[in-house]
Amino acid sequence: MHHIPGHHHISMLTKNAPLNHEFYHKKLGLRRVKKTVNQDNPSMYHLFYGDLTGSAGTELSFFEMPAAGRTVRGTNAITQIGLLVPSSDSLKYWKQRFEQYEVTHGDMTEYAGREALPFDDPEGLRLILINHDGAEVPAGWAAWEDSTVEQEHRILGMGPVEMTVRNLGKMAATLTEVLGYTEVSRSEHEAIYQSVEGQALGEIVVKQQDGPSERPGRGSVHHLAIRVNNEEELAYWNEAVIERGFQSTGIIDRFYFKSLYFREANGILFEIATDGPGFTADSSVEELGKRLDLPPFLEGKRAEIEAKLTPLDS
């Protein structure tokens, strides 16, 4: 039986790529592991941040849309992203760091049963640091030693992802009956699901909320990608999605991974993506994120593409 071993990446919208890079690379201390473009619209950047190599489960990705308006909050949306940090002391470190850099943040709290610290990025994206409490992380995750954050407090990878929907039951059915998640807690208006038992790294928190759907803009989440090991498993999930009655895009070659997309009944967009070949497919580990990398089918248009992009690095 195939199973989902956790999150792969999560993709958001930014209006300002240089501001985005300043925040995630310098203030959060993540490595920019890939500077590329949206393969469906190469006039916009697609930036990836993560660990040393952008391992599956550590990747935050952003599409730059300079014309993006503000996000109008609502339901039927991915509404918060959890990031794992090593310890309770790490949360205290980050609270001081946020105060130093004037990052909007809340007070220490508890989230999904764990000690946590909520904060916003400059465009209003909601994030929350989660105390991983010394628990193990996947063997493939590797620290980036040039991070601006002290080694013992660096962000490890993705934790619980929150989704707010009108119909909790339909989302629950998709997660448990189609994708094989386990429901670990349930109340009238909230439930928690895990793809790996006891692990925050594949956790989804679902909240039920009536009202208008969110209108996306800068600081909104486009989709969540979940992991599979290889293309054979991806083909299995493609059939499972179609058999359930969802419309799948079919398998798409993104060069750094292969994936498919589908929307569940509330309209939340899921991607299912393979772990490999990864971001070192066209770059050495040392050079990751330094140049504009393009998949082979766009390489012939490099000059045209580069002319339309705003330089990120001084």
For the chain, where are the E strands, in sequence order? Answer: 7-14, 31-38, 41-50, 59-64, 77-85, 109-111, 114-120, 126-131, 157-165, 182-186, 190-194, 203-208, 221-228, 252-253, 257-263, 269-277
Q: Is residue 69 part of a domain?
A: yes
Spacing of C-alpha 177 from chain mean position: 23
Q: What are residue 14's DSSP bridge partners? A: 64
The answer, as to whether pTM is greater than 0.85, is yes
Mean local confidence (pLDDT), 198-205: 96
Find residue 216's DSSP bridge partners. none
Contacts of 15 (CB under 8 A, 6+ apart): 64, 65, 66, 67, 68, 123, 217, 218
251 Cβ contact partners less than 8 Å away, ≥ 6 residues apart: 231, 234, 235, 238, 258, 259, 260
Kindly report the number of other CB atoms within 10 A of residue 18's CB atom. 15
Within a domain: residue 1?
no
Q: Is the pLDDT of residue 192 over 70?
A: yes
Dihedral angle over CA of 306, 297, 285, 275, nearest 10: 130
Task: Kindly report, residue by residue over 294-314, the tens digit of the pLDDT.
Answer: 999 999 999 999 999 988 875
**Domain of 243?**
7-307
| Assigned domain for 314 exists | no
Q: CA 256 to CA 27: how far, in whole Å?
A: 26
- Whether residue 239 lies inside any domain: the answer is yes
Per-residue pLDDT, averaged over 131-158, amounts to 96
Determine the pLDDT at residue 1: 74
Q: Whole-number mean pLDDT of the chain?
A: 97
The answer to whether residue 313 sits within a structural domain is no
Phi-psi region for residue 310, left (φ > 0), alpha (ψ -120 to 50) or beta?
beta
What is the side-by-side strand order in the sheet with 203-208?
A: 109-111, 114-120, 126-131, 77-85, 157-165, 203-208, 190-194, 182-186
Q: Tens digit of pLDDT for each residue in 15-31?
A: 999 999 999 999 999 99
- The answer to the question of residue 257 being in a domain is yes
Distance separating alpha carbons of residues 3 and 50, to the nearest angstrom: 23
Domain count of the fold of the chain: 1
Does a structural domain hold residue 217?
yes
Q: Which CATH number fits the domain that encloses residue 188?
A: 3.10.180.10
Tens-place pLDDT, residues 250-304: 999 999 999 999 999 999 999 999 999 999 999 999 999 999 999 999 999 999 9
Residue 178 maps to a domain:
yes
Distances (CA, A) of 188 to 52, 167, 209: 41, 11, 11
Give 212's DSSP letter.
P
